[in-house]
Homo-oligomer: A and B are copies of this chain.
Amino acid sequence: MINIGLLGFGTVGSAVFTVLAERKAEMEACLKQKIRIKRILERDMAKHKSSEAFPLMTTEVADIIADPEIDVLIELTGDVKNMIEPLRRSISAGKHLITANKALLSKYLEELTELASKHEVAFRYEAAVAGAVPILILMKNISALNEVLEIEGVLNGTCNYLLSRMEAGLDYDTALAEAQALGFSEADPSSDVEGYDTMYKLRILSSLAFKQPVLESDISCTGITGVTKAEIEQALSQGQRIKLVAKATRDEKGEITATVKPTAVERDQLLGSLDNGENAIILRTSNAGTLTFSGLGAGGRPTAFSVLSDLMQIYEVLS
């Protein structure tokens, strides 16, 4: 029996609960053991009184960390400040960790990797980069068998949406107000539009690809708040579109250059074809050549797919 502690029951947490229930038979057949979510951390329990998940809920993370039956934590809170210490304790107590918390990963990737290795637990975070796109699972083989020469990607759906709406004629502020009204952007949009969300993802992806820490401070980051209608129209008139592009290269001396910035890309190429929630990653490698991956970068079920892929991966390898 695999006992899961689920931290967070928002869009992604509740989708993990639902998809796990729907795909339980298939997953258990693959892993040759039973799976259950034993406890759920949720601050606002009252909201979920009518949910099947309610009896599993607690507002106290300590209830979950201290439960010796819980084998693996799935952390989906997005909270850095209140989460890092419980996650450290949980790893030290021998629980595997799956997280989609890219801000937390960006800050503590090396520390948590080392701690997990010391305590011989699995530490996986597929859902933190490009949502449903299964890229991190491939990184170990790609980076063992190749020199990765360049990573390029579009990793933030909110920016795609805003830039698409500006192409349709809206100015930046109107597009943002619309996205917020539709729930495509947070009340505080700065993590998306200032490029930090994209920077976190590039920091994670490039550290794995280049097998050395690429820190936030190594990445030059410009968001989309300064993109003007004139720039958008200029790009369109040349068969291009402006996208928030993340890019990291390593030269022959091992020097890494990493940037996040609005970039004009060809309309008929992969990055220029993306809309709304679509993310894409292009890897240029020494043996495999150029590999590209795209899919939905956010949303409940797509992100739950990556979270549960991590779960499958942990228990397939361990079994």
Given A273-B268, A317-B317, verify A144-B287 contact (CB < 8 Å): no
Given A144-B23, A312-B144, verify A295-B292 contact (CB < 8 Å): yes
Cα distance, A294 to B292, chains bound together (Å)? 5
| Contact in complex: A305, B287 (CB < 8 Å) | yes
- Name A's B-contacting residues (CB within 8 A): 19, 23, 26-27, 29-30, 132-134, 137-138, 140-146, 267-270, 273, 285, 287-296, 299, 301-302, 304-306, 308-309, 312-313, 316-317
| Contact in complex: A312, B137 (CB < 8 Å) | no
Q: In angstroms, how far is the closest chain B Cβ from the Cβ of A129? A: 14
Interface of chain A: mostly helix, strand, loop or mixed: helix
| Contact in complex: B137, A137 (CB < 8 Å) | yes
Query: How many subunits of this chain does the assembly comprise?
Result: 2
Cα distance, A122 to B267, chains bound together (Å)? 43
Residues of B contacting A296 with CB < 8 Å?
288-290
| Contact in complex: B289, A145 (CB < 8 Å) | no
Given A290-B295, A292-B293, verify A270-B268 contact (CB < 8 Å): no
Instruction: List 15 other contacts, CB 8 Å, given A268-B268, A289-B302.
Output: A19-B287, A23-B145, A23-B287, A133-B291, A134-B291, A138-B138, A141-B313, A145-B308, A145-B312, A267-B268, A285-B305, A288-B302, A291-B294, A292-B293, A293-B293
